[in-house]
């Protein structure tokens, strides 16, 4: 696999932020649906009257939107580098050191 191939590939497809966004988004949609159609009295008793699935679902969808928007707004840029040495120029300039990410959903 040549470096040139990697250049075109990595820039588009494999960004962990998309993975996170899609997974949390699917989870969110499923939970929102469950919360809307299947909120039973038994469940209300368990949670003390919160529709937990619905609210968690909404939270997950918002987080998902955040990650996908982040990946769209600041995509990974690969600077091609002929060197195949360790620590070569796979520069991913995508918001390194974003202190905020540690806190946004913790």
Footprint on residues 2-41 left by another protein (CB under 8 A): 6, 9-10, 13-14, 16, 19-20, 22-24, 26-27, 30-31, 34-35, 38
Q: Does 46 bind another protein (CB under 8 A)?
A: yes
State the nearest-atom distance from the C-beta of 103 to another protein, in Å.
Answer: 6
Q: Does 98 bind another protein (CB under 8 A)?
A: yes
- Closest residue by Cα to residue 49 from 41, 37, 58: 41
Give the helix ranges, DSSP H, for the chain.
Answer: 3-12, 16-37, 41-47, 52-73, 101-104
Quote the CA–CA distance of 87 and 85 in Å, as a whole number.
Answer: 6
Q: Does 58 bind another protein (CB under 8 A)?
A: no
Collapsed DSSP state (helix, strand, coil) of residue 101: helix
Quote the CA–CA distance of 77 and 21 in Å, as a whole number.
Answer: 19
Residue numbers of the site for another protein (CB under 8 A)?
Answer: 1, 6, 9-10, 13-14, 16, 19-20, 22-24, 26-27, 30-31, 34-35, 38, 43, 46-50, 52-53, 55-56, 59-60, 63, 84, 86-88, 90-92, 94-99, 101-103, 105-106
């Amino acid at each position: 696999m040549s470096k040139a191939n990697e250049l075109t590939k990595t820039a588009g497809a494999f960004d962990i932020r998309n993975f996170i966004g899609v997974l949390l988004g699917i989870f969110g949609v499923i939970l929102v649906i469950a919360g809307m159609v299947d909120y039973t009295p038994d469940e209300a008793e368990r949670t003390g009257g919160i529709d937990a699935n619905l609210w968690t679902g909404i939270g997950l969808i918002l987080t998902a939107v955040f990650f996908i928007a982040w990946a769209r707004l600041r995509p990974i840029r690969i600077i091609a580098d002929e060197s195949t040495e360790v620590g070569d120029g796979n520069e991913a300039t995508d918001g390194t050191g974003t202190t905020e990410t540690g806190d946004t959903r913790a």
